[in-house]
Amino acid sequence: FSKTAGFTGLRCGYTVVPKELKLYDTSKKKVNINRLWNRRQTTKFNGTSYIVQRAAEATYSPVGKIQIQESIDYYMRNASLLKDCLQKVGLQIYGGDNAPYIWVKTPNELSSWKFFDRLLCECHIVGTPGVGFGPSGEGYFRLTAFGRYEDTIESISRIQNWKL
């Protein structure tokens, strides 16, 4: 639900562990994995809170579906504007069509952290260095369109005036 319904930071999910699933412990005794999993979950998490369960349920209602689509449209508009801006200033970009994330190939062989530093210090814009997603992310930078439209317009203005 984090991306679809804006549940960032909240968790709502489940795991099915068949009651028939058994493994052997070190003493060759059969252990019921379902009971162990239940014990782990109730000890560490005690389940998803009621309010989060109700919010998740609401995403499937007719009104919830309309509201979610409105939110998706809002963020995808931001993504489209940001993508167009980045392309116009000559950056090589990926994404922004089916998800509100835009990946930028860092120019001039800058590391993803150097690009982060420049964008932060020179434009006052924050994103995520690609290397944070693993070694294959080096040389890329991720921007998100999950934000207010007005902030997206301000970011675009700053990027347009930036001296790459």
Give pLDDT, residue 55.
92
pLDDT surpassing 80 at residue 3: no
Q: Are residues 95 and 153 in the same domain?
A: yes
Residue 102 · residue 79 · CB < 8 Å:
yes
**Domain harbouring 136, CATH code:** 3.90.1150.10
Give pLDDT, residue 4.
80
Give pLDDT, residue 164.
80
Give pLDDT, residue 10.
81
User: If pLDDT is split at 50, 70 and 90, which confidence band does 49 have?
Assistant: confident
Q: Are residues 130 and 152 in the same domain?
A: yes
Q: Are residues 76 and 146 in the same domain?
A: yes
Residue in 58, 83, 82, 78 with CA at minimum distance from that of residue 4: 58
Q: What is the mean pLDDT of the chain?
A: 93
Q: Are residues 30 and 102 in the same domain?
A: no
Q: What is the pTM of this model?
A: 0.78
Tokens 């998490």 locate to 45
Calculate mean pLDDT across residues 109-138: 97
* Enclosing H/E stretch for 40: helix 33-44
The number of beta carbons lying within 10 Å of the beta carbon of residue 130 is 24
Q: Is 129 exposed, middle or buried (0-12, 13-18, 19+ CB in 10 A)?
A: buried
Give pLDDT, residue 35.
93
Residue in 108, 115, 106 with CA at minimum distance from that of residue 140: 106
Beta bridge partners of 103: 94, 142
Q: Are residues 56 and 72 in the same domain?
A: no
Domain count of the chain?
2
pLDDT surpassing 80 at residue 46: no
Please identify, among 60, 87, 108, the residue that sits at the C-terminal boundary of a domain: 60
